[in-house]
């Protein structure tokens, strides 16, 4: 097991006998956790940060426009470099599948 020098809570939060699970800051796991938190939060649901998250897309008419979604995420998590692809499910045309690939921005000279 590697030593975590700058810990951030893992997502979803998990508390065990060893303590809270953590990930290293600025790693793919950390940035990925932040992206998942953005995707799982609807705008206006956090009182102190009402602009955090994305609009509720549950009953939107497809296509959802993956580029708009990626821009919203990128504006809130600048460490995330993402590419996305959107396609309608082959067996059920009411399902819109968005696939997001995540990379992290590395600091120059690091």
CATH number for position 36: 3.10.450
pTM: 0.81
Tokens 């995420």 label which residue? 73
Dump pLDDT digits (tens) for 26-65: 999 999 999 999 999 999 999 999 999 999 888 877 677 8
The Cα 32–Cα 52 span in angstroms is 16
- Judge whether 60 lies within some domain: yes
- Residue 50: count other Cβ atoms within 10 Å of its Cβ: 10
- Judge whether 55 lies within some domain: yes
- Judge whether 66 lies within some domain: yes
The Cα 78–Cα 95 span in angstroms is 29
Q: What is the mean pLDDT of residues 71-80?
A: 93
pLDDT at 96 over 70: yes
- Judge whether 79 lies within some domain: yes
For 73, the domain range is 7-104
pLDDT at 110 over 70: no
């Amino acid at each position: 097991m590697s030593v975590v020098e700058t810990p951030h809570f893992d997502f979803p939060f998990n508390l065990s006998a060893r303590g809270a699970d953590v990930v290293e800051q600025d790693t793919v796991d950390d940035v990925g956790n932040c992206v998942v938190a953005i995707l799982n939060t609807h705008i206006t649901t956090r009182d102190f940060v009402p602009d955090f998250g994305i609009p509720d897309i549950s009953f939107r008419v497809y296509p959802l426009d993956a580029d708009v979604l990626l821009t919203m995420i990128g504006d809130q998590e600048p460490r995330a470099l993402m590419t996305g692809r959107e396609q309608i499910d082959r067996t059920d045309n009411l399902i819109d599948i968005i696939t997001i690939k995540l990379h992290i921005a590395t600091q120059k000279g690091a």
